[in-house]
Amino acid sequence: MRIIWIDTIDSTNSEVLRHPEAYPSGTVLAAFEQTAGRGQRGNSWFSEPGKNLTFSIVLKFREGQLPARRAHWLNYLMSYAVTAFLEEEGLHPQVKWPNDVYVNRRKICGMLIENTLKGNSVALSVVGVGLNVNQRDFPRLANATSLSLCTGKEYGLKSFLARLSALFEENLILLYDWTGLDVLLETYSDRLFQKGVQARYHDLLADEEFTGIIRGVEPDGRLRIFDGSRDRRFGFKEVSYIL
């Protein structure tokens, strides 16, 4: 993958979506500072300049190569790469469904994947990642952590991104056959935050709180929670954690 570093930009995802023709498939656009980083549910992503990894991976697909109904598997793949990378650094990461990574019950990484469709296929995917690396103070985020806070070490951003991008690239092949998809689904499910633990959740559709145990995710991306009598399945924006 070709990595392009820039000093300051509003958002690497936004930049790629503004000028997709300028970024070939396999490009990684990284910024030392994002002034308007974006997260899921319309949230902003604050990152101290020069301390963390904030980047977007550009993927372009042939028509029919990645059906739109399988777009969420890109999230499984990026989660697979990030958690494997953090495990290499001696951490024990978990995936907080759908697209955050936690260490010691604190957020260390967030992802925002934005797709452009052509017919029933994904034509362009922009895989945005914010990974806390060397930042130690999070005045706007009470529940955040970083590699440096977890290990007491300082890390080189450029070498880290090269390693993480290579790990993602070498596992791209998993998207294209059923055996690979099974690996991604199993790994994602195994690393789920609070899996097997009784905890409180908020059913956003019914507007009610309930106690349940996360059992895994479905191939269609829904989270499966057992509430004591039955498995309940939730799509994006249908359930939230009560932490």
**Total structural domains within the chain:** 2
* Domain co-membership, 75 together with 104: yes
Residue 36 is predicted with a pLDDT of 83
Residue with tokens 């902003």: 44
* Domain co-membership, 22 together with 118: yes
Residue 236 is predicted with a pLDDT of 93
Which amino acid does the sequence have at 175? L
Which amino acid does the sequence have at 213? I
143 CB burial (10 A radius; 0-12, 13-18, 19+): exposed
Cα–Cα distance between 208 and 44 in angstroms, integer? 27
* Domain co-membership, 160 together with 223: no
Kindly give the confidence (pLDDT) of every residue in the chain, 243 residues in length, as a single tens digit, with 9 standing for 90 and above: 999 999 999 999 999 999 999 999 999 999 999 988 765 445 555 678 999 999 999 999 999 999 999 999 999 999 999 999 999 999 999 999 999 999 999 999 999 999 999 999 999 999 999 999 999 999 877 799 999 999 999 999 999 999 999 999 999 999 998 999 999 999 999 999 999 999 999 999 999 999 999 999 999 999 999 999 999 999 999 999 999
Residue 88 is predicted with a pLDDT of 96
* Domain co-membership, 124 together with 219: no
Which of 190, 211, 232 corresponds to the end of one domain? 190
Residue with tokens 């372009």: 60
* Domain co-membership, 96 together with 207: no
- The DSSP letter of residue 232 is E
Nearest Cα to Cα of residue 75 among 197, 220, 229: 220
* Domain co-membership, 125 together with 221: no
Neighbours of 5 (CB within 10 A): 13
Nearest Cα to Cα of residue 48 among 129, 151, 143, 146: 146
* Domain co-membership, 16 together with 113: yes
* Domain co-membership, 143 together with 119: yes
* Domain co-membership, 62 together with 17: yes
71-74's contacts with Cβ under 8 Å and 24+ in sequence apart are: 71/113, 71/115, 71/122, 71/125, 72/98, 72/220, 72/221, 73/175, 73/181, 73/184, 74/113, 74/115, 74/125, 74/127, 74/175
* Domain co-membership, 202 together with 185: no
Threshold 0.85, pTM exceeds = yes
Domain that includes residue 118, residue range: 2-190
